[in-house]
Structure 1
């Protein structure tokens, strides 16, 4: 599987990580041919960084 470039919003406050988990489904891949694959990663100790990776179908 190949990861493609994408854009996504991170308009959620860092203190709403648990409650805003549903918002990841609203993130859209901007490139055609990319499936909506949602990957949430916590890159910091407080879990304030999230990333969504889009993968080619």
Structure 2
């Protein structure tokens, strides 16, 4: 059980590191544009479905 938790924490840390790397990229980079559009689509779909943020 402890190994799974450690592995999950390591994966989470690497995902956050990658996310930070992408966030620091120039806004004109394709990956950054894709990420921004995906975030916008998620917010729009949550709004359309009436899902409260943070709930």
The answer, yes or no, to whether TM exceeds 0.5 is: no
Structure showing greater Rg: 2
Q: Which protein has greater RCO, CA pairs closer than 8 Å, 6+ apart? A: 1
TM-score normalised to structure 2 length: 0.22
Q: TM-score, normalised to structure 1's length?
A: 0.22
Higher helix residue share? 2
Greater strand share, 1 or 2? 1
